[in-house]
A and B are shown apart, each in its own frame.
Chain A
Amino acid sequence: MKKFWILLKFEWLNFRADKGLLILTMLTLMAGLYGIYYGTTEIQRQRENIAALKVLTEHNMEELKAKYPDGTDAGDIGYYHSTFAVNNPDAWAGLSLGQRDVNPYYIKLRLLNLQSQLYDTENINPLKVLSGNFDLAFVLVYLFPLLIIGLCFNILSVEKEQGTLPLLLSQPIGLPLIVSAKLTFRMMIVLGLALLLSVVAMVWGQVLPDLRVALWLSVVVLYCLFWFGVAFVVAALQKNSAFNAVTLLGVWLLLTIIIPALLNVYIAVKQPMPQALELTIKQREVVHGGWDKPKRETMDKFFAIYPEWTDTTEIQGRFAWRWYYAFHHLGDVAVADLAREYQEGLQARHQLVEQLNAWSVPVNVQTIFNAMAGSDLPSYVGFLQSATSYHDALRDFYYPFLFNQVKFTNADYAKEPRHRFTSSPDFATVSAGLYKLGLSVLLVFVVVFFLFRNVKLKVR
């Protein structure tokens, strides 16, 4: 045991004296801190933007109150008044932004047809989202493996190449001790750094200290262990440093870029999403066709869904708000199947990714992080559904005014329902991912174990 400590101490001396390694470690630390800063400020910005939406709604209501000081037909309000469905970020989203920059985090809603409003997008700079987020998850998923590779690619080969191995082995210590000391030292640095960054991010982002703290940290540890395992499999082949570097970078490239890119292709072919354009076209046809249909026909269809309003008086004249909203409503009903298929398609895509991410540990880990942070596709679909229910609630709120032909007064704004939604973690994905991650780590270490048992050391 004492020799182990001696080896550790000298690993430290060697590490301290090696400028390249120090720079690499410092760079990773800086990248991690920047990632934390970027992620948390991005979420902070989204929070501020969401808070500003409240002000916009206020302004909108004030404007309408001024326009109709004595109240008016609720139809006017439904048409000119807009409110927002918002997808509040979980504090964890700062650690792993996921798709929160691509998918809108609020939807501006009026009482009109929902499907024409639900998919409006936010102002996004496509070049920025193409480049992706420099958040902590990126640093952990992409850059930490590179740090591990940088620290481990020559773990044994350097001893051979600089010729110190014979002298080292002429001391009364075995190779397993040397290797485990080197491994322990590097693990201490990498895990120390990864855990430190994670904790800093959690404190900085002020996350709720729930089960996810433990889950996140164990994912980080397992993921690092996986890459240490890979580095050791390559080290056990006992090739030179150049071969090790190229091989390890090749594995990194394969797992973090090539396999995910191929999976993307597979998913696009296997689970195409043609519904979107169809949905948007059909929805317009139905809604605008409403103007040209006999009013009785529209109303009868509507009353079939809402029998409670059936008694309301026959519509006279060219235009009535309740007829207008009825055919808007029917527009949503007409594309309900397509809309459901669209959302199911999105879910199915996510499930396909979940099934396939066993092929690439980084994809799996990214999926776990995003699921924990509630920043992936299912949470967006959840938000879409929540916005849909909110729109239903708005209808339930306004329809009594419209169909009972009650004037909407300025006091009624306060009774209008408000939307609340915070993206929630998807623990099912997390635990399935964790299980797969555990298996991957186990697999790699089984290989390491067999290689080290069966491969003979070549001193020269």
Chain B
Amino acid sequence: MNTVLEAKQLRKEYLSKVALQGLDLQINAGEIFCLLGQNGAGKSTTINLFLGFIQPTSGAAFINGLEVAANVTKVKEFLAYIPENVMLYPNLTGLENLALFSSLAGFDYKKDELIYYLVQAGLPAEAAGRRIGGYSKGMRQKVGIAIAVAKHASVLLLDEPTSGLDPKASNEFSELLLKLSDQGTAIFMATHDIFRSKEVGSRIGIMREGELVDVLPAATLNANELESLYLNYMHV
């Protein structure tokens, strides 16, 4: 199997606390890794380290074999990112925002291609030409998804991507993730949603106080088992 995303003894300390203690992780192409954990467990820290937004205290994060900290700009060609709350340029339209981000990623799409990506992400076509300022959170989230998909990245980093989406949109999003993983995309998703993790995840990691305490193969558990396991870890 082809390892796309890798963490080697990845550690991040802040002045007063350790946010991540020596994470070791490998995620292969076509795999969906869901990371569960409470607020402050270190999920976003992990994603930010893979994004190069913060520097590790020790250890290293790799994408496609490239060390992130040493290739901050280069690695971004391979990854796409959807934050928990997708924020876009309020004075530009959805279409223009998508055009900006994809052109920065090196894709010069024509207008109908851009609309295709937006519609595929669940945005009504007629909303594409309106300014982001008038969008709901869910609509912005969909533009964020379109931006990620249109980048055709080999890695997808998702930080609570479905927050703000209604159940229908969430379902569509899950289907999209499965489709992308079929095409060979490695997906790393930080989430609170146990059931959706079970539904889409290949493996599920549980993180507590900066430590990856367990990694479970999704196929071997049902949702209830997973929840009790998770709660068990949280209560220790």
Instruction: Name A's B-contacting residues (CB within 8 A).
Output: 3, 6-7, 10, 13-14, 17-18, 162-164, 166-174, 456, 459-460
Contacts and interface: CB of A to CB of B under 8 A. Distances in A.
Interface in B46-75: 48, 51, 53-55, 72-75
A171 B104 contact: yes
Contacts of B103: 3, 6
Contacts of B144: 167
Nearest 10 pairs of A and B residues by beta carbon:
A163-B87, A17-B91, A170-B81, A172-B76, A459-B53, A171-B104, A172-B77, A10-B100, A6-B103, A174-B73
A14 B91 contact: yes
A17 B88 CA distance: 14
Contact of A167 (B77, B83, B92): B83
B18 interface: no
A18 B91 contact: yes
Number of chain B interface residues as a range = 20 to 34
A13 B83 CA distance: 24
Contacts of B152: none
A240 to B, nearest CB: 15
A14 B89 contact: yes
B72 A174 contact: yes
Contacts of A166: 51, 53, 81, 83
Nearest to A169: B53
A419 B184 CA distance: 91
B48 A459 contact: yes
Interface string B80-107: 1101011111111000100011011110
A442 to B, nearest CB: 29
A252 B147 CA distance: 41
B87 A172 contact: no
A3 B104 contact: yes
A459 B104 CA distance: 18
Nearest to B81: A170
Nearest to B101: A171
Interface of B: 48, 51, 53-55, 72-77, 79-81, 83, 85-92, 96, 100-101, 103-106, 131, 144, 147, 157
Nearest to B72: A174
A164 B140 CA distance: 11
A18 B133 CA distance: 12
Contact of A172 (B48, B106, B131): B106
A456 B69 CA distance: 13
A163 B85 contact: yes
B128 to A, nearest CB: 15
A169 B92 CA distance: 18
Contacts of A171: 76, 101, 104-105
A166 B82 CA distance: 9
A169 B77 contact: no
A174 B85 CA distance: 22
22 contacts: A6-B103, A10-B96, A13-B91, A13-B92, A17-B92, A18-B91, A162-B90, A163-B85, A166-B51, A166-B81, A167-B81, A167-B86, A167-B101, A170-B79, A170-B157, A172-B77, A172-B105, A172-B106, A173-B76, A173-B104, A174-B72, A174-B73
Contact of A13 (B55, B81, B88, B96): B96
Contacts of B48: 459
Instruction: Count chain B CB atoms within 10 A of each CB in A3, A167, A174 and give the residue with the most.
Output: A167
Given A10-B89, A167-B83, 13 more contacts: A3-B104, A6-B100, A13-B96, A14-B91, A162-B88, A166-B53, A166-B83, A169-B53, A170-B51, A170-B81, A172-B104, A173-B76, A459-B53
